A = this chain, B = another copy of it.
Amino acid sequence: MYVTSPVQFHNGATRFDLAAAADEFSGTASHVHTFGAGKTVFHEGDNAEFIYEILEGVVRSSKMLVDGRRQVLSFGYPGDMIGLSHDEFYHSDCDAVAPVKVRVFRKNAFSGAMESDPAFCAHLLRTAAAEVNSMQEHFLMLGRKSAMEKIASFLITLLDRQSAEREDANSFALPMKRADIADFLGLTIETVSRTLTVLRKKGIIELPTAQKVHVLKPLALRDLAESDL
């Protein structure tokens, strides 16, 4: 799963040492900041002064329509970058879903590093291209998948993403609320809940709590992610 707005960089393996790069080329030391659950990192329209690297926790990036309908664009996990903009402003809201620790970079420092280090810039560009590619996958999700396929795909994405970092390869946290999942997948909270219930009753997953998932039949779940049946 890709993550945040407008560009994020979470390719674990190829990850760049951003702190070092930014510091080296700007002389401006970055610093660390924390946001409690539910706190806002930035709003759409705010001056895009900072770029953030998520160190711990989970953020939600979203946009709203005038009438209040919301689309969650992505969930940001440790390693993801958020807040990069093509102009002076942020183009989405960003809030902490779970308590978040971020490294904060001044946009200037970032730009400086970019201008003076082609390798850094090239890295960012590759990462942006990868982000675009991930977003395109999500287009398929939003445009062409059924509720069941969406939920199954979403769970598989979280499973794969978090499995590397855990002891139990088939359990993971679901830190966001049902409303967040619904707004990410283009569904309602009721449909999210009902679909999870179906998966539970089929014995494919367990929900020890509303925010914890244990996958009993990963293969069945993967099948559902591709075709509803």
Contact B86 A140 (CB under 8 A): no
A121 in contact (CB, < 8 A):
yes
- The number of times this chain is found in the oligomer is 2
Docked Cα-Cα span, A99 to B122, in Å, equals: 33
Residues of B within 8 A of A84 (CB): 129
Q: How far is the CA of A162 from the CA of B67 in the complex (A)?
A: 28
Dominant secondary structure of chain A at its interface with chain B: helix
**A226 touching B142, Cβ below 8 Å:** no
**Residues of chain B within 8 A of A127, CB atoms compared:** 86
Chain B residues whose C-beta falls within 8 Å of the C-beta of A115 in the assembled complex: 118-119, 122
Residue interface mask A63-106, B partner, CB < 8 A = 1: 10111011101000000000011110001100000000000000
Cβ contact within 8 Å between B139 and A73: yes
In the complex the two chains form, is B143's CB within 8 Å of A185's CB? Answer: yes
Q: Establish whether residues A6 and B133, one from each chain, have CB atoms under 8 Å apart when the complex forms.
A: yes
A128: which of B5, B132, B144 is its contact (CB, 8 Å)? B132
Check A91–B136 contact: CB distance below 8 A. Answer: yes
User: How far apart are A106's CB and chain B's nearest CB, in angstroms?
Assistant: 17
Q: What residues of B have a CB within 8 angstroms of the CB of A66 in the complex? A: 226-227
Closest CB in chain B relative to A136 CB, distance in Å: 5
- B residues within 8 A CB of A131? 132
Given contacts A69-B144, A87-B130, A139-B142, 8 further A-B contacts (CB under 8 A): A65-B226, A73-B139, A91-B136, A114-B118, A121-B121, A125-B128, A128-B129, A143-B185
16 inter-chain pairs at a CB distance below 8 angstroms, sorted by A residue, are A5-B132, A5-B136, A6-B136, A63-B137, A63-B140, A65-B226, A66-B226, A70-B144, A71-B144, A73-B139, A86-B126, A115-B122, A121-B125, A132-B132, A132-B135, A144-B183
